[in-house]
Amino acid sequence: ENVLENVPAVYRQITAPSHPDQEYYTDSGLVIPSISYSLRTRLLSAAEKYGLSVPRQLEMVGRSASEMALQLLGGCHRINPENSHQRPRAAVLCGPHMQGAQGVSCARHLANHNVDVTIFIPNAVKVINWLQEEMNLFKCTSGVHVQNIKEMTSGSVDIIINALDSHDNEQLHAESWYKAVVNWTRSHRASVLSIDPPSYGVAIEAKWSLSIALPLPLQKSVGKIYLCDLGLPARVFTELGIKYESPFGSKFVIPLHSSE
Amino acid sequence: ENVLENVPAVYRQITAPSHPDQEYYTDSGLVIPSISYSLRTRLLSAAEKYGLSVPRQLEMVGRSASEMALQLLGGCHRINPENSHQRPRAAVLCGPHMQGAQGVSCARHLANHNVDVTIFIPNAVKVINWLQEEMNLFKCTSGVHVQNIKEMTSGSVDIIINALDSHDNEQLHAESWYKAVVNWTRSHRASVLSIDPPSYGVAIEAKWSLSIALPLPLQKSVGKIYLCDLGLPARVFTELGIKYESPFGSKFVIPLHSSE
């Protein structure tokens, strides 16, 4: 039974050009339609055209994802001077694509905040420039980068961050390195935060997921969904036929609830 | 009497190459030395060299400053769907320089979050490219840009954000547009948040100030000081002879207390 059928107009401040596959709602009752990955891609490109460059977008996603992960790790109770001898440990799993670059951006901020971070990125033939730029920055932190999951930290980890999945390339799932990483996660009990999971689903079940700008229609396996404000200005939405008013209020990351 | 004289070593995780003019401390007791503007400039340039570009730094300052302003405006109690008919009003005063660009970046995020924003930027002969890039992005929001303070919103404002002062050019204070803006602020009772105030002092007394990366030696007129994490990786501090461990814990903005 769809709880959003009779919602008053004041709570429908966002409408997409085509009927959404899925609708979500916020803690304050605002209805958030899902949009397709292709519409979202055009949204981010339009923002880029006006000056919200990919590095700016990567910085915003990395900042929001790390801020969320720091809270999930226990926030100030876990990360403080008295606790600096038992730093939380994060494994950040990144594919060779834009979502992987988002993962490395998040990992960099975590390492800057004294989290013991190990990132996995497969030894891909071709690395997109944005991912390379993030990897160069990550090298300036105390974090560790492995190219083979066997080298991943042996002990337990406090959180696994999954940025393995690309929206454009579901075939990655068939890669041997991908299967090895999935097995590795199954042998670890840490909770999983997925960054920008694709609509077609994830091989690694997540406890939480962070979607960006406007949510895609996501499957249950992505767990509890949060939406991250990318700072896209109003004109970008208008240009793509999306009636939009920010649902974020005073926050930059908000929880979403499924309407089913 | 300096409260920090006998602080145990574990709370001195940051030491600058030269004796600091001023020392601050955090809520958890960590001692934060001030650094000179020239050392800070070299710190930000070193970060830029490794890939933390100026636009990324501007995005981080704008994000932190707006997040702080949104809380100062009342957070979720003030900014929510029930209140959308009485949007908070912000006047953001920007000089023709990097701090002005930080101010416009903050203004953009506030406008994205349904704050009624008017920015003032004087009609300068030469606008640095970073400020121009921020102005182009701001044009995509619902915010308003005035070049003469007389055109600034006539009614009351809920917050004034001051990004007028440049660290390199104290002579701006003698400009007629600068004096007119200072007079305008004195005729308005709204509290002032200063972004990245200079060591030589501010003409507009602030209730709060946001300093970036590591604090400069600041005067009392800047009010309560907060420090914003710019995401500078560890190697950058090491390279400039600064022993550094992040004081931010799980936060990206922390309050600082003066040791005097």
Does the beta-carbon distance from B50 to A236 stay under 8 Å? no
| Whole-structure pTM value | 0.95
Helices (H), chain B: 37-49, 54-72, 75-78, 98-112, 129-138, 176-186, 234-239
Mean pLDDT of A139-149: 96
Does the beta-carbon distance from A235 to B28 stay under 8 Å? no
Contacts of B184 (CB under 8 A, 6+ apart): B149, B152
The H or E element spanning position A112 is: helix A98-112
Rounded to 10°, the helix A54-72/A98-112 angle is 50
Query: Residue A143: helix, strand or coil by DSSP?
Result: coil
Q: Which residues of B touch A133 (CB under 8 A)?
A: 51
Contacts of A70 (CB under 8 A, 6+ apart): A79, A110, A113, A115, B250
**B196 — contact with chain A (CB < 8 Å)?**
no
Q: Which residues of A touch B252 (CB under 8 A)?
A: 63, 67
Query: What letter does residue A86 receive in the DSSP assignment?
Result: S
- Residue of A49, A52, A144, A250 to mutate for B, most B C-beta atoms under 10 A: A250
Predicted pLDDT at B151:
93
**Does the predicted interface ipTM exceed a cut of 0.95?**
no
pLDDT digits (tens, 9 = 90+) for B79-105: 887 787 889 999 999 999 999 999 999
Q: Which residues of B touch A67 (CB under 8 A)?
A: 252
**With 0-12 CB in 10 A as exposed, 13-18 as middle and 19+ as buried, what is B258?**
middle
Mean pLDDT of A125-151: 94
The residues in A 227-256 lying below 8 A from B, measured between CB atoms, are 229, 231-236, 245-246, 248-252
CA distance A206 to A224: 8
Q: B1 pLDDT band (50/70/90 cuts)?
A: low
**With 0-12 CB in 10 A as exposed, 13-18 as middle and 19+ as buried, what is A86?**
exposed
Q: Which residues of A touch B142 (CB under 8 A)?
A: 234
| Residue B255 bridge partners (DSSP) | B226
The residues in B 19-58 lying below 8 A from A, measured between CB atoms, are 28-30, 50-53, 55-56
Q: Is-contact B65 B195, C-beta < 8 A?
A: yes
pLDDT digits (tens, 9 = 90+) for B117-159: 999 999 877 889 999 999 999 999 999 999 999 999 778 999 9
Rounded to 10°, the helix B129-138/B98-112 angle is 10
pLDDT digits (tens, 9 = 90+) for B211-232: 999 999 999 999 999 999 999 9
Residue A59's closest chain B neighbor by CA?
B56
Please tell me which of the candidates B81, B84, B140 has its beta carbon nearest to residue A236: B140
Q: B8 pLDDT band (50/70/90 cuts)?
A: confident
